[in-house]
Amino acid sequence: MTDPTQEPSSPDYFSVADGPRPDYARLFRLDGRTALVVGGGSGIGRESALALAAQGARVVVADRDLAAAEATVAEADGASYDGGLVTHELDVTDEDAVRQSAAELGVVDTLVFTAGTNVRKRVLDYSGEEFDRVVGLNLRAAFDLVRAFGPGMAQRGRGSIIGLASMRAVMVEPGQGVYAATKAGLLQLLRTVAAELGPQGVRANTIAPGVVGTPLTTQIRADEEWAGAYATKSALGRWAHPGEIAGAVVYLASDASSFVTGSQLVVDAGWTAVDGRFTPPG
């Protein structure tokens, strides 16, 4: 029973702010932490897995294509990857498999989901099956992953959830409507997760890449005119290597971003900052 004569204790708002400064030499290190990279068999997922391991994390490379996950681990052979990498076969469109993976893998400090798909069609040409397929992998799977791994993070009082959205979360073009809707949905989903799990010490953010050379963009890169138009739209005038997105993943997984949550980190070479493709004279 509360003593009415006793002053209520005040929350400690400043314990971290008044504490020692971070160890800047180890700001991006991930030693002793486990990271799960979903979609780690190719593209941004593969490079993110390698980058996290290089900073000392033990990385679980999850992919429904186990051979692709094994190829990612093979990339690290003979290199200096302090944390090590292991494979895990997982189809994230199978809700039961996601839940089972959370039980099997145990402590996961960082959850990264990069798996995604796209059907490039105008909205009126889309079928219901295509809509369900894109939404199922890009958004529903993220929802299931958060529900499976978020409770453990909240119980431990720490964790970083990182979703790969896209600049399409805020900018769209014909033929990208459903994909864009899923990426906007992912952004809002993780903003909500940030709000709901922040009091338990769990952070949630998205990364919004621009045009990146991955299997998902093969169709565009095969068309020289299309690929060139995309390249010249950005301030840097080129496509990104998947490894150029991995730095953002390491940042959001590490203590370097300890005060960052509910954010979208845009890595798009200035695409969303540049107005149009034509430079006026003068």
Is residue 4 assigned to a domain? no
Q: What is the pTM of this model?
A: 0.91
Residue 113 pairs in a beta bridge with: 38, 163
Confirm whether 133 is domain-assigned. Answer: yes
Q: What is the CA radius of gyration of the chain?
A: 20
Secondary structure of 178-195 in HEC code, one letter for each residue: HHHHHHHHHHHHHHHHHH
Higher pLDDT, 226 or 41: 41
Q: Is 276 part of a structural domain of the chain?
A: no
Q: Is residue 9 in some structural domain?
A: no
More confident of the two residues 280 and 209: 209
pLDDT tier, 60 (very low <50, low <70, confident <90, very high otherwise) = very high
Closest CA to 134 of 112, 111, 162, 115: 115
- Would 2 be classed as within a structural domain? no
Domain total in the chain: 1
Mean pLDDT across 21-36: 95
Phi first, then psi, for residue 173 (nearest 5°) are -145, 165
18 is a domain residue: no
The string over 214-234, giving b where at least 16 C-beta atoms fall within 10 Å of a residue's C-beta and e elsewhere, is bebbeeeeeeeeebeebbebb
Asked if 230 is an active-site residue, the reply is: no
Model pLDDT for residues 114-169, shown as the tens digit of each residue: 999 999 999 999 999 999 999 999 999 999 999 999 999 999 999 999 999 999 99
List, for residues 177-232, the tens digit of each pLDDT value: 999 999 999 999 999 999 999 999 999 999 999 989 887 777 888 888 888 888 88
Lowest mean pLDDT of 64-78, 211-225, 230-244, name the range.
211-225
Domain of residue 226, CATH code: 3.40.50.720
Is the pLDDT at 91 greater than 60? The verdict is: yes
Residue 5 lies in a domain: no
Domain that holds residue 99: 26-269
161 assigned to some structural domain: yes
**What is the distance between the alpha carbons of residues 181 and 99, in angstroms, rounded to a whole number?**
25
Selecting among 13, 81, 126, 179, the annotated active-site residue is: 179
> Which residues lie closer than 8 Å to 132 by C-beta, 6 or more apart?
none
> Are 170 and 180 within 8 A, CB to CB?
no
Residue 230: per-residue pLDDT: 85
Quote the tokens at residue 140: 């529903």
Q: What is the pLDDT of residues 247-263, one digit of tens each?
A: 999 999 999 999 999 99
